Structure 1
Amino acid sequence: AIGTNDQVIVVESHYAVGGAAHGFARKTARGEFKFDTGPSFFAGLTKPNALNPLASVFRLLGEELETVSYDPLGTFHIELDAPGLRRHADLAKLVSEVKRFSPRGAEELERAVPKIRTMYASLSGLPTTALRADWKVALMILSRYMKAMAGLGPYSGVLPQPTVKLLDFLDIKDPWMRYLADLECFLLSGVDASGTVSAEFAAVFGASDSLGVSEFPRGGAEEIAKALQRGLEKYGGEVRLKTHVDEIIVENGTAVGVKLANDKGEIRAPIVLSNASVWDTYGTLLPKGAAPATETREAMETPYSESFMHLHLGIEGEGLDFTHTGGHHVVVLDKSKPISQPGNVCMISIASVWEPDMAPAGCHCVHAYTMEPFEGWEELKANDKQAYEKRKKEASDKLYVALERVIPDVRDRVLLELVASPATHKSWLRRHKGTYGAAIRAPAMFPGPTVAGIKNLYRVGDSVAPGVGVPAAAGSGVICANTLASLDDHFACQDRMDALNAR
C-alpha cells in the first residue's frame, strides 16, 4: 500500500493478528501470567540489517518497536557434565565459549571469523528489501548493487549449497564445532547443516556478530504483529479478524478473490496472496483442478518438519538468577542421538527475564517446546479425551526433563501448567499437520511467490523462502510486495528506505 493507491485487506482467521507470533494471558491467585505462543529468538528488529527486513519495514511504516537488548542469545546445554555454552552474538566472545568444549574447534572458528565477517559484509550490501521475484530484479541489482554482488564473487559457489559445504570452505573440521553448526541450523530451518542453505547460515551468523546483541520486544512477540497492523491501517489497509477463508476464487485461470466461510460472502480483488502453508493452499483453499495437476502434486509432496509439543508454565521465581545464562535455553537431551529426533532438542524461553511485567512479582513465565510427530494426536483428541490427556502428560515429560537442566526443582515451582499437543498446534495455526514449516533441503530451491497456472495468485510465508519462522515469513512478504510493485515504485520505496536507514 505504501506509495501506491492499492487497498490491502488482510483476512485473519483468529481473534488476534500474528499467527504463531501472538500471545495470551492466564490469571492465577498469584496474578496474571502472559505468554508468547511462538517465536522468541529475535535479532535486528530495530537496526536495519541483511538478516531481518522488519527493522527497515518498521522505519518505512513510521512505527517504532520498543525492545530490550541482551547477550548472550541463549545458553546451549549440549554436554551433560558441563555448564552450557553461552551463545554470544559477538563471534570473538563465542570463540572463548567454544574453547571450554573444544580447543581445536575454537581455533578453527577463530580462523574462520574474518571470512565470515567479509562474507556477511558482502551479503548485507544486498538487502532483502531490494529483491523481487521477477526479471526486473536484475535492473535493480545492476543499477544499485553491483559492488555488493562483486563482493559475493568468492563465495558465489558455496552460498547456494548446504552449510556443510560452507564449513568445508571455512576449514572447520572439528566434530564438536560441526555439531554446534548442526544445532544452529536445526534451530534456523528445522534441518541440520547438511540441509540448511549456506546463505541463510552465513547471514544469521554474520548479522548476529554485526549487531552484537539480540532483542526482545517489550510486551512480547505479539507487539511485532501489532506494529505491522498499525502500519497497514495507517496507509489505508484493513485487517478483518475472526474471518475464515473457505476458498480462493479462480475464474478462467485467474484468482479474483476469496470466498469466506460461514456464508459471509466474498471479497473480490485483482490480486490474492495466500499466507497459508503450501499444503493448505493447494490442498484446501484452491478449488480442485484450478492449478495444474503436476504443480499441485509437487506442492503437496513438499517435505515438512514435525509439529510441536508445548509447555507453558507459570513458576515461583524465588532464588532464580538468569543474569549469567539469560532467558533462552536450548537443551540437547542425548547428544548421541540425531538432533532431528523428535523430543531430543528442547527450546526454552523465559520471557519474564527481559520483560518482568509478563509475570506476577516474584514469578516467571516459561514456554518450552520440542518437535513431536503429528500422527495419532488428532484422532485421540476426538475419540478418547482421557487417553489424550494421558498421552499429553507423558509427551510433555521430556520438556520437564529439559527444564530441570536449567531449573533443577522446576516441578516444585509450578503455579500454572498448560500443555499443548500437535493437535492443538494444528487447530490454532490452521496448518497442515501442525507443521513447523517446509523442510526443503539445500541445494533444492524454495519455490518463490508465484503460482504456476494461476494468474494474480501469490504465496507468502515460511514455505516460500528458506528457513522457518520470522525471517522466512518477513522476507517472503517483502519480496512478494516488491514483485507486485512497478519498478519505479520499487525504486522510490528503496530510495526512502535507504534515506531512513542512513539516519
Structure 2
Amino acid sequence: ARGGGELALRRTGSFVRCRARVASIDVEGGRARGVTLSSGARVTARDGVICNAPVWALDALLSGGGNGGAPVDETLRSFSQRASRAEMTRSFLHLHVGLDSAGLDLTELRAHYTVMRSGLLSADPCAELNMIAVSCPSVIDSTLAPAGKMVLHAYGAGNEPYELWADERRGSAPYERRKVERAQALWEAVERVIPDARARAEVALVGSPLTHEAFNR
C-alpha cells in the first residue's frame, strides 16, 4: 500500500499480510468472527470481517473448513446463495507498460482516464473492449518508476470474453499471438493519452483473462 492507504495503516498500527489465502470466514452466533487461512492459522476479528472476494465464492467461504462444514446462520446462507446467482461480467484484459517519460510533463497528465472506443452513447457502452481504463500512477507518485521513466496500466473494464481464452494454453505460441492481437485495443486507448506511447515503451506486459483468473478464486 502506497500513499494515503499506507499512512492510514501506520496510524492505526495495522498491517497487510501478503500470500495469506483465506480458506473460510468463521461464523459464530450468526456473526463473522474472523477467518481461517489455508495454512490453518486463524485470525480473529475485533468488529467484523470485510470480504472483497467475488460474491460467487462467498457461499463456499461461509461453509468452509473454519466452520467444520457446519451450516452457518440461515440469514447469511440465504444472502450468500442469492449472491452466487448474480450475473457475471466478462473478464479482464490488462496492459502494464513502463515508458520513457523524457519530454513529458507529468503535471499535464491525469491519474486516471476512461476511454470509450465506440462512445458512451453507443448501443452497448459495456460492449466487448469498448470501455478501457488507463491509469497513470506515476502522476501521483513519481518514485514508482526510476527517474525519467513512468508506469502505466490499461485494462478492459470487465468486457473481455473469457470464452476466447478458455482453451488456450498459457505460454504457447497461439496464446502469445492472441495476447498481442487483443492488446491492440488497449494500446489504442493508451495512445489517446500518450500518442507516442509504443515508441516510448521499454517494457510491456499483457495480462489475459487466464492471468486474471490465476489471482482470483
The TM tier, using the shorter chain, reads 0.7 to 0.9
Q: Residue type matched to 1:242 in 2?
A: R
Quick check: which one's strand share is greater? 2
Deviation at 1:280, TM superposition (A): 4.9
Map of 1:390 onto structure 2: 177
Correspondence for 1:309 among 74, 79, 93: 93
Q: Cα offset for 1:416?
A: 0.8
Which has the higher relative contact order, 1 or 2, with Cα contacts under 8 A spaced 6 or more apart? Answer: 1
Match of 1:246 in 2: 23
- One-letter amino acid matched to 1:318: A
Tell me the amino acid that sits aligned with residue 350 of structure 1: C
Measure, in 1, the Cα distance between the counterparts of 2:110 and 2:47: 44
**Aligned counterpart in structure 2 of residue 273 of structure 1, from 46, 49, 54:** 49
Aligned letter for 1:286?
L
Residue of structure 1 equivalent to 2:118: 334
Distance 1:325 1:255 in 2: 43
Work out whether residues 128 and 161 of structure 2, in 8 Å CA contact, stay in contact via their aligned partners in 1: no
Q: Aligned pair 1:362/2:142, yes or no? A: no
- Match of 2:199, SS state, is helix
Structure 2 counterparts to residues 222-233 of structure 1, below 5 A: 222-233=2-13
CA contact (8 A) 2:131 2:156 kept: yes
Alignment of 1:471-486 (within 5 A): none
Q: What is the match of residue 66 of structure 2?
A: none
- In the TM superposition, what is the alpha-carbon distance from 1:417 to its structure 2 partner? 0.8
Letter in 1 for 2:204: E
Return the structure number with greater helix share. 1
Q: Which residue of 2 aligns with 1:290?
A: 72
Give the 5 Å matches for 1:212-227. Answer: 222-227=2-7
What is the CA–CA distance in structure 1 between the aligned matches of 2:41 and 2:35, rounded to whole Å?
Answer: 9
* Alpha-carbon shift at residue 268 of structure 1 (Å): 4.9
- Aligned CA-pair RMSD: 3.2
User: Aligned partner of 1:224: which letter?
Assistant: G
Alignment of 1:304-453 (within 5 A): 304-321=88-105, 324=108, 326-335=110-119, 336-371=122-157, 372-373=159-160, 375-376=162-163, 379-380=166-167, 383-386=169-172, 387-428=174-215, 430=216
Q: Output the CA distance in 1 between the equivalents of 2:35 and 2:136.
A: 39
Pairs within 5 Å for 1:29-178: none
Gaps of 5+ in 1: 1-21, 23-221, 432-503
Q: Does 1:261 align with 2:38?
A: yes
What residue identity is the alignment partner of 1:342?
A: E
Q: How far apart are the structure 2 equivalents of 1:421 and 1:406? A: 22
Mean Cα displacement is larger for which, 357-366 or 268-277? 268-277
| Cross-structure match for 1:166 | none
Judge conservation of contact 1:377–1:423 (CA < 8 Å) in 2.
Answer: no
Shift in Å, 1:316: 2.2
Residues 1:396 and 1:255: Cα distance change in structure 2 (over 3 Å): same
1:264-318: per-residue Cα shift (whole Å, max 9, x none)? 3334557541323362552331116425354333121234444422211112223
Letter of the 1:334 partner, please give it. Answer: S
The structure with the larger Rg is: 1
Q: Structure 1 pair 304/230, CA: closer, same or farther in 2 (3 Å)?
A: farther
1:354 is displaced (CA, Å) by 4.5
The question of whether the paired residues in 1 share the 8 Å contact of 2:56 and 2:85 is answered with no
* 1:374, distance to aligned residue in structure 2 (A): 5.6
Q: 1:337·1:344 contact (CA, 8 Å) conserved in 2?
A: no
Alpha-carbon deviation of 1:322? 5.4
The code of the aligned residue for 1:227 comes to: L
**Structure 2: distance between partners of 1:354 and 1:239:** 21
TM-score, normalization: structure 1? 0.36
**Deviation of 1:419 (Å):** 1.5
TM-score calculated relative to the size of structure 2:
0.74
Q: How many Å separate the matches in 1 of 2:30 and 2:3? A: 38
CA–CA distance in structure 2, aligned partners of residues 368 and 423 of structure 1: 17
Aligned pairs, number: 205
Deviation at 1:261, TM superposition (A): 0.8
